[in-house]
Amino acid sequence: MIIEDFTNVTAEHSPVLSLTRNLHGEAATLAFAASLAPLLTSGGLIFLQGTLGAGKTAFSRGLIQALGHQGAVKSPTYTLVEDYLLDSLHIYHFDLYRLGDPEELEFMGIRDYIDGDALCLVEWPDKGHGVLPPADLIIDLDDLGDSRQIYLTAASARANSWLQQLQSRDSSLQPVEDTLQLAGQVRTGAQP
């Protein structure tokens, strides 16, 4: 699917860092997202992948609130995008689940949203294949029933830096040995 885009990016920014850890419950998902927040204050493009109910929106909520949003964070399933203008950062939270055709992103002006200064969180990025640029960071959430396994894969040099910093602060993060294999599984929805 999109793996060739990811492979091109990873070849330019070797070595690619992929990390994983287990999260028990929504509170752990929110806390983990909050731990990533300080690294994302300069913006970037993050793809959030996983099955329905895997925790993509919960992760987004934890991240957006940790960055300073005081109100509710709702799923943009029907609106496609929710906009959060904070003091020091503009955040766009996309949910492309109901997108009928990737070209609809062009009609809504996706390029105006995804600039170097905004933080863009994109749930169901495969629905925007061919229109979305490559992500900086790919986050895959795997629902294990009573817990979630989260996989973070850097797809840019700055995301590699984010993950190195995160790993230095969180000893429960484990490296994923075969990054390109994981990327293929993440991108196609196969289970690692």
What stretches in the chain show pLDDT beneath 50?
Answer: 1-14, 179-192
Q: What is the pLDDT of residue 179?
A: 47
Exposure of 27 in the CB half-sphere (CA atoms within 13 A):
0
Q: What is the pLDDT of residue 15?
A: 59
Across-strand partners of 37? none
Q: What is the pLDDT of residue 116?
A: 66
Return the CATH fold of 3-188: Rossmann fold (3.40.50)
Contacts for 168 with CB less than 8 Å, ≥ 6 apart: none
Query: Which residue bears the tokens 């609130």?
Result: 65
d(C-alpha 14, C-alpha 154), whole Å: 10
Side chain identity at residue 73, one-letter code: V
pTM of the model: 0.84
d(C-alpha 83, C-alpha 71), whole Å: 12
Q: What is the pLDDT of residue 16?
A: 79
d(C-alpha 99, C-alpha 62), whole Å: 24
Could you read off the pLDDT of 30-77 as tens digits, one per residue? 999 999 999 999 999 999 999 998 899 999 999 999 999 998 888 887
Side chain identity at residue 142, one-letter code: D
- Domain map of the chain by residue range? 3-188
Pick from 62, 65, 52, 64: which is nearest to 23 by CA?
62
